[in-house]
Structure 1
Amino acid sequence: MTAPLIGITTAHRQRRHPPPVTLAAIPATYVQAVAQAGGVPILIPLGIGEEGLKALVDRLDGLLLPGGEDVEPGLYGEPPHPRLDKVDPERDRLEITVTRLALDARLPILALCRGHQVLNVALGGSLYQDIPSQWPEAIVHRAPNRREPGASHLITVDAGSRLAQIIGPGPMVVNSFHHQAIKELAPGLVATAWAPDGLIEAVEMPDHPFCLGVQWHPEEMVQDHPPMRALFRAFVAACQNDDRRPTREGTEDRGLRTADLGPPAQTTTRPLTADR
């Protein structure tokens, strides 16, 4: 069988040495986790317009939304909180657009950390912009010094959820690198895992072939934690079983033409200084 093509969105990064160059990049752990599970990672750069994203979604077998910086609060109707970290409006627009296109196409989706939050916002939900100041009962979800190893904590998983079928019912320990979290859950999503303080740690869409979001970083855990390897294997298997694949594999050329990408979107350059 042909390995499924899995799109992974990227972020702006600035090259550390001159001359200054803006890169479309993503930590290699996402690419490695998808590849080890049997998928073919396809990086989606910023600067692609909606028509180009439609062309990509039509050729992809799955979508992975990775971690990153904070989500622009105006997208869910709130003013910026004083402790909001850096945002990238261009990345927000692209990821929300491609998420909605992928949902419309019934494409399997795995959303991680920021991606879990983007999924919720794309469907009409909202976020806590800063957990420590907006959730007084919160445990530590991000190490105070970002140069230190990330925090970790237990999660409780809904035993009847798809997530529990994949990674087990828990409880289990996961890593934690975030200061934002789901506040109002979007219509169509259900919460399936929680931190000890009650914050939502995982969501899924029951009427979708495969749409899961988790607040932790399973790609950082796959080498030592079989449940996280199982999560990526389940995602890739769902992409392999995409009911659109037989039609697409019957064509002579699944490659993208330059014209398919449409006109370039307006871009800005900024360093990426945020969560993973």
Structure 2
Amino acid sequence: MSTPVIGLSCYREDATWGVWTTPADLLPRTYTGSVERAGGLPVMLPAAAPALASAIVARLDGLIITGGPDVDPARYDTAPHPRTQASRPDRDAWELALLDAAAAIGLPTLGICRGAQVMAVHGGGTLHQHVPELIGHEQHSGDGSTFTETTATVDPASRVAALIGPRIDDWCAAVSCHHHQAIDSHPGFTVSARSADGTVEAIEQEGDRFYLGVQWHPEERQDAGLFVGLVTAAAEYAGRSQPAAR
């Protein structure tokens, strides 16, 4: 069987390298490296016209919606909070279209940080726009550009628990995070992990399809379980797919 192809959404930001400073489509190496170590072939998916999502998703075996900026509150019919950061409308539209296309064909999908939030919004859910206001501390966002650590208490019966099981001590796992927003409502999903302050740390859908999101950043700890789970599901999906559809 060929190596499963895993598409990853990515940033579009001004970047500098060599003599160039120009807008670029980019993604931290930790994401693609995690997919490679899990046995997948990573392919970046820069924001494009949403109408192209179905054609692109048809060429994938799995999908990762990655971390990034705040989702536009208009996407869940809410006015922006003063601390909500500038959104990227092109990326919001692109990732929501990717999720539409993935749902249509049952593509295995993993959401990471913003990605989990986008999955919740895609399902009709809402977000807490500034978590420190709710919980009284900034442990989830830290004090700058570095990742911080929190502890996720995981439902032992969940898919997430099965995937990260070796790292769990009494159903708690130390995880890396950097976010000031979090999932509020999440229609169609079950919460499979929370931090001690109640913040939703993982959501998943019931059923055979691999479709889950985590608020933390597993790629920052080379946390293989979630990536191996996705790549394994992607390989199984590829084996079931009709050659004519690929």
Structure number, greater radius of gyration = 1
Q: Which residue of 2 aligns with 1:34?
A: 35
Runs of 4+ in 1 over 3 A off after TM superposition: 17-20, 136-139, 243-246
* TM-score for the superposition, normalised by structure 1: 0.82
The separation in 1 between residues aligned to 2:63 and 2:28, in whole angstroms, is 16
1:46 Cα deviation from its structure 2 partner: 1.3
Indicate yes or no: 2:238 matched with 1:238: no
Q: Which has the higher contact order (CA 8 A, sep 6+)?
A: 1
Q: Which residue of 1 aligns with 2:144?
A: 145
CA gap of 1:234–1:139, structure 2 versus 1, over 3 A, is same
Q: Which residue of 2 aligns with 1:11?
A: 11
Indicate yes or no: 2:128 matched with 1:161: no
The separation in 1 between residues aligned to 2:190 and 2:72, in whole angstroms, is 23
1:19 Cα deviation from its structure 2 partner: 5.6
* Mean CA deviation greater in 37-46 or 163-172: 163-172
Give SS of 1:15's match: strand
Q: Which residue of 2 aligns with 1:213?
A: 213
Unaligned runs of at least 5 residues, structure 2: none
Q: Which residue of 2 aligns with 1:269?
A: none
Give SS of 1:82's match: coil
Structure whose residues are more often strand by fraction: 2
CA gap of 1:244–1:56, structure 2 versus 1, over 3 A, is farther
Residue by residue, what CA displacement relative to the aligned partner does 1:220-269 show, whole Å, maximum 9, x if unpaired? Answer: 111xxxxx212211110000000664522xx5x95xxxxxxxxxxxxxxx
Contact 1:153 1:176 in 2 (8 A): yes
The RMSD of aligned alpha carbons is 1.8
Aligned-partner residue type, residue 231 of structure 2: V
Q: Which residue of 2 aligns with 1:64?
A: 64
Q: Which residue of 2 aligns with 1:260?
A: none
Give SS of 1:84's match: coil
CA gap of 1:244–1:96, structure 2 versus 1, over 3 A, is farther
CA gap of 1:92–1:208, structure 2 versus 1, over 3 A, is farther
The separation in 1 between residues aligned to 2:135 and 2:57, in whole angstroms, is 41
* Mean CA deviation greater in 103-112 or 12-21: 12-21
The separation in 2 between residues aligned to 1:19 and 1:242, in whole angstroms, is 40
1:105 Cα deviation from its structure 2 partner: 1.1
Aligned-partner residue type, residue 68 of structure 2: G
Aligned-partner residue type, residue 234 of structure 2: C
Residue by residue, what CA displacement relative to the aligned partner does 1:39-87 show, whole Å, maximum 9, x if unpaired? Answer: 111111112331x211111111110011001110000010110001121
Contact 2:152 2:172 in 1 (8 A): yes
Contact 2:50 2:93 in 1 (8 A): no
Residue by residue, what CA displacement relative to the aligned partner does 1:149-170 show, whole Å, maximum 9, x if unpaired? Answer: 3221111000111111111252
Aligned-partner residue type, residue 36 of structure 1: R
* TM-score for the superposition, normalised by structure 2: 0.92
Identical counterparts, % of pairs: 37
Aligned-partner residue type, residue 105 of structure 1: I
Contact 2:163 2:229 in 1 (8 A): yes
Contact 2:203 2:214 in 1 (8 A): yes
